[in-house]
Structure formats: structure tokens, C-alpha cells
Amino acid sequence: SGGLGGIIAASAGNDLYHPLQAFLIGIAGVWVAYKLHYWVERKFKIDDAVGAVAVHGYAGSFGVIICGFMLWGYPALADGSATITPWGQIGGAIIMFFVLGFIPTFIVAKILNAMGILRIPKEVELAGLDYVENQASAADGQEIVNAELAEANASSSL
């Protein structure tokens, strides 16, 4: 998730950033995403198993906001009538990430939770979803790897 978080953090201004700026913003965005991910996970007990909220939400928000500071004064429109400012970027981040992202997602999650379909049952979670739905186990995966290795060895010895 680190590489993706860095790309997302730098993407808001990649058309105008110097490569070193994009690199440093990417590093900072990953750090922000990492810290916020674990803070939210521990503080609010919210499970983000794949880090999607951290990468897209935290690194993305950071990238949009930092763009306003790094590119302050650059023309925002082709005719130069408006310029990039931190305040415009912060306002845009609030609208895009909070109003259009977090609030609708929170409402849908609450509805799904009330219907009892947000999470799988605890016993299924403990047994493993792959096993319950597909009767697949880690041993099955190892059998596939062994078969592919045997096939590769057979074809290379010809």
C-alpha cells in the first residue's frame, strides 16, 4: 500500500510538481496514511483490512491539501483568472472526501449493519470465508503451486 499511497498523495499536482516535490509529497503522504490508519484502527476499532481508506482517504486528502501549499499562486484556470490556494484545496478536500465520500458511506454502512449484512457471521469469519464458501484451504493452494512447479520442471528438461 505504500507505493500506491505515495502515488495518490502526489497525484493532485503531478502535472505541476517538480519530480523531487512529487517524491517528497509521496513519502509524506505514506507516513500520514500509515499513522492515521493505525490511530483510527486502535481508537475507533474500525477494521480496514486492505488499507483502502488509509491509501485513498488519508493519503488522498493529504495530497489535495498539500497541493494548495506547494502550488500556491499557480494559475488554476487556463486564462489565469483564478489561482491555486490552500483554502480552495481545503474546501475541495472537505467537499470531496467528507461530504461526498465519508457521509454517504457511513449512512450505507449503518443501513447494511442494521440489516445484518455488513459483516459475515462470526463462526464463518473464524472458520475462514474461503473454506466455508469454496471448501478451499491453504493446502489446496500449495497443491496448485507444486503442480505448476512440476509442469515447469518437466517442460524445461525437454
Q: Tell me the C-alpha to C-alpha distance, in Å, between residue 11 and each of 25, 56, 70, 99.
A: 9, 11, 13, 21
Asked if 93 and 41 count as a contact pair (C-beta separation under 8 A), the reply is no
Per-residue model confidence as pLDDT tens digits over 14-70: 999 999 999 999 999 999 999 999 998 888 888 888 888 899 999 999 999 999 999
Q: In the predicted model, what is the mean pLDDT of residues 131-157?
A: 79
Q: Which is nearest to 56 in space by CA: 95, 12, 16, 99?
A: 12
Please determine, for residue 128, whether its predicted confidence score (pLDDT) is greater than 90: no
User: Where is average pLDDT lowest: 48-57, 88-97, 110-119?
Assistant: 48-57
Asked if 65 and 86 count as a contact pair (C-beta separation under 8 A), the reply is yes
Please, which pLDDT band fits residue 133 given cuts at 50, 70 and 90? confident
Paired with 75 in beta bridges are 83
Cα 8 from Cα 60, distance rounded (Å): 6
SS3 83: strand
DSSP string, 93-132: HIIIIIIIIIHHHHHHHHHHHHTT-SS--HHHHHH-HHHH
